[in-house]
Amino acid sequence: MIALLARFLVARLRPKCRVAIEHQIYKTIDRDAILVGIPDVTVVRSG
């Protein structure tokens, strides 16, 4: 869903802005999962 949002934004904001996504990463130890990264969409104005 985050990647779809990023593609949607890129199509509308390029070349004035840059769109980046961060993936959610889990580390599993036995049965417990530790959240290492949180998904995010970032939009930064270019130039």
* pTM of the predicted structure, to 2 decimals: 0.50
b (16+ CB within 10 A) / e for 4-33: eebeebeeeeeeeeebeeeeeeeeeeeeee
**Tally of domains within the chain:** 1
Q: DSSP class of residue 47?
A: -
Say how far apart CA 1 and CA 20 lie, in whole Å. Answer: 14
Give the mean pLDDT of the chain. 77
CB 19 within 8 A of CB 45: no
**Parent domain of 27:** 2-45
The reported pLDDT for the residue numbered 21 is 78
